[in-house]
């Protein structure tokens, strides 16, 4: 896997002649400064269109530069003239990823509408959704999720092999960083609710339970409530381990975990869970179309849990 990732970094690195390089660097300059008028003029010439996807010494195409700088009009014009929407730089960052990292959401939206992969480059160590979750960017996350970003993919090919103990998926990141609105959003878009790989070297800990993550990160009650109301099975445990409520020391949360472990799910909770399972990732879209009171929309989207 590592050799494949390394070779991917150097793909598209080809020799170019001086004239092509000169044309390319003129494009880079016009894009970086947002000089849309000159950009439009030079792209009328075939010699400039021929280098529209050429990379500079950092592997950055003109489109990648436009995305990083938030030059929306330049970005649109480059796409109109054939710029490749997902061509990565030397770090395997796609234009979409750098646009989001720099909070240029208007550029990110245009890239997604033009077919950019919402999961980024498959050889990159992480995904746009993972990055947006780490930054607690609700807007960036929602934009990606609306365009089909995978809630379970993280692209962490190298970290597990290096035995780095880090959360691997967006839901784990959201809980670890205590980004509770982000947790709610991910759950609404069908994120895993029971357990996810932790890549621990110990075979007895093949999976990290989300309840355990909440306990270890000292999450507040709302995190446990969101997991439970989204269908987390509190009875699933790794072999020979204690129940979650037995590991918790805070009285209020310990009492809640003990109660939901020992009592059946309420009818109200069961009805919501049934609808969530029926509609899955389309739940939020369906809610907006439903002719129901706002309070019910809030209930179905977990917005009542605060």
Residue 79, in any domain of the structure? yes
Do residue 17 and residue 114 come from a single domain? yes
Residue 176, in any domain of the structure? yes
Do residue 208 and residue 131 come from a single domain? yes
Do residue 35 and residue 102 come from a single domain? yes
Ranges of residues in the chain whose predicted pLDDT is under 70: 1-19, 154-167, 195-208, 237-241, 281-282, 285
CA–CA separation, 78 and 75 (whole Å): 5
112: domain CATH number is 1.25.40.20
pLDDT of residue 8: 53
From 186, 207, 228, give the residue that closes a domain. 228
Burial 183-218 (b: 16+ CB within 10 A, else e): bbbbbbbbbbbebbebbeeeeeeebbbbbbbbbeee
Residue 111, in any domain of the structure? yes
- Domain span holding position 208: 125-228
- Give me the number of domains the chain comprises: 2
Do residue 16 and residue 95 come from a single domain? yes
pLDDT of residue 232: 86
Do residue 113 and residue 134 come from a single domain? no
CA–CA separation, 140 and 64 (whole Å): 18
Do residue 35 and residue 63 come from a single domain? yes
Residue 297, in any domain of the structure? no
- Long-range CB contact pairs, 16-23, < 8 A, 24+: 16/51, 16/54, 19/47, 20/47, 20/50, 20/51, 20/54, 21/54, 23/47, 23/48, 23/50, 23/51
CA–CA separation, 266 and 229 (whole Å): 10
Do residue 91 and residue 174 come from a single domain? no
Do residue 193 and residue 156 come from a single domain? yes
């Amino acid at each position: 896997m590592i050799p494949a990732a390394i070779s991917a970094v150097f793909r598209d690195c080809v020799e170019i002649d001086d004239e092509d390089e000169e044309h390319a660097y003129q494009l880079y300059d016009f894009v970086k400064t947002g000089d849309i008028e000159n950009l439009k003029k030079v792209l009328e010439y075939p010699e400039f269109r021929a280098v529209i996807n050429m990379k500079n010494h950092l592997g950055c195409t003109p489109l990648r530069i436009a995305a990083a700088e938030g030059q929306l009009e330049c970005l649109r014009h480059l796409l109109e003239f054939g710029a490749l929407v997902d061509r990565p730089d030397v770090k395997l960052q796609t234009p979409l990823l750098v646009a989001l990292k720099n909070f240029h959401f208007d550029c990110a939206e245009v890239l997604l509408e033009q077919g950019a992969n919402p999961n980024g480059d498959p050889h990159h160590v992480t995904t746009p959704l993972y990055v947006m979750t780490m930054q607690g960017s609700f807007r960036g996350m929602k934009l990606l999720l609306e365009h089909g970003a995978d809630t379970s993919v993280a692209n962490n090919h190298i970290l597990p092999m290096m035995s780095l103990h880090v959360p691997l998926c967006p839901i784990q990141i959201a809980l670890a960083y205590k980004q509770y609105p982000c947790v709610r959003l991910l759950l609404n878009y069908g994120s895993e609710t029971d357990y996810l790989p932790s890549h621990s070297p110990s075979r007895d800990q093949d999976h990290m339970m989300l309840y355990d993550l909440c306990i270890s990160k000292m999450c507040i009650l709302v995190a446990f409530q969101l997991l439970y109301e989204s269908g987390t099975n509190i009875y699933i445990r790794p072999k020979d381990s204690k129940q979650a409520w037995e590991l918790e020391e805070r009285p209020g949360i310990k009492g809640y975990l003990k109660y939901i472990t020992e009592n059946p799910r309420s009818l109200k909770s069961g009805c919501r869970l049934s609808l969530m399972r029926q509609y899955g990732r389309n739940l939020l879209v369906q809610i907006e179309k439903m002719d129901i009171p706002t309070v019910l929309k809030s209930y179905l989207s977990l917005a009542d849990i605060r």
